Amino acid sequence: MAEDTMGSFKAVGQVVEIPVEMIDPNPYQPRTHFDALKIAELGESIKENGRVTQPITVRAKNGRFELVIGERRLRACKAIEFKTISSIISEMSAEEACEVALIENIQREDLTPMEEARSIASLVEQYGGSYAQVAERIGKSEPYVRQRAALLTLAKPIHEMLDEGKLNVAQGIAIVNLGLDDEEAQMQVAKKAFRLRLNANQIKGNAQDKTDKVKRDQRNTVTLASTSRDLIRAHDSLERYMGDGLSTLADIKKRTLFEKQVKDMRDMCDVVLQNIGS
């Protein structure tokens, strides 16, 4: 039973109508962004039905209620100015409420990459650092849990790139796996991956190429002559490819990527020519 001070709201486990003004937000909500259009659409659906089709879950706390599950439904009801919302009162501790909210959101699979990463990290902390237990609890593999949580080690601007869709999770994990402690170095890789549309394997390969280049440069100083030879090789390669390679490239994504890379090289050449001219 809920607290006696709640008056008529004593039916634990049963559906009751609770005034929306008596329900406080879920402090463990992992979401930081809610699509206003989708909330409005949900509100219209609720208005047509006259009520929410699936009650929200709350728990009694300090003479009021705290939301556990149903953030969007509650927001939608507030948006259409419903005075009450169908709710199920559940008896649970703060720790249980946190776990339920996080797991429910993760299993919906529509969190942004960083919302999911923060949710998983919170669960790992709650389970005493056990990735295996969290993996079992949310129905994912342990590597999945470790990789998602590791995204939090990336620079904050990369978090934003992931949530905005400029980078995907695989690209983010690839940057993590490079083991770059310096945030500026991480950002250089992230910006290049975005600019050139590098996939996870290409990010890894590009980093290896740079490492190999550093080793070569330590043995051989880069000179105008060596740079000129590299340019000639690139020119010859493009000339051969122009024979029939590009004209038969049917894959639109590959064609677009190739065009982007060539334009990027052209821009770099323009900068070099400007510096020579100055």
Instruction: Give tens-digit pLDDT for 225-276.
Output: 777 777 788 777 777 766 555 555 666 777 777 777 788 878 878 787 777 7
pLDDT, residue 110, reads: 74
What confidence tier does 120 reach under pLDDT thresholds 50, 70, 90?
Answer: very high
Instruction: Give tens-digit pLDDT for 155-179.
Output: 999 999 999 999 999 999 999 999 9
pLDDT, residue 175, reads: 96
Average the pLDDT over 36-59 and give the result: 92
CATH hierarchy code of domain 4-92:
3.90.1530.10
Average the pLDDT over 22-33 and give the result: 84
Q: Which helix (H) or strand (E) holds 89?
A: strand 84-89
pLDDT, residue 3, reads: 44
pLDDT of 4 higher than 50: no
pLDDT, residue 209, reads: 60
pLDDT, residue 64, reads: 94
d(CA 267, CA 213): 22
Which residues contact residue 192 at a Cβ distance below 8 angstroms, ignoring those fewer than 6 apart?
Answer: 198, 206
pLDDT, residue 147, reads: 96
Domain extents in the chain? 4-92, 222-278
Cα–Cα separations (whole angstroms), residue 172 to 148, 159, 205, 212, 251? 9, 9, 15, 22, 25
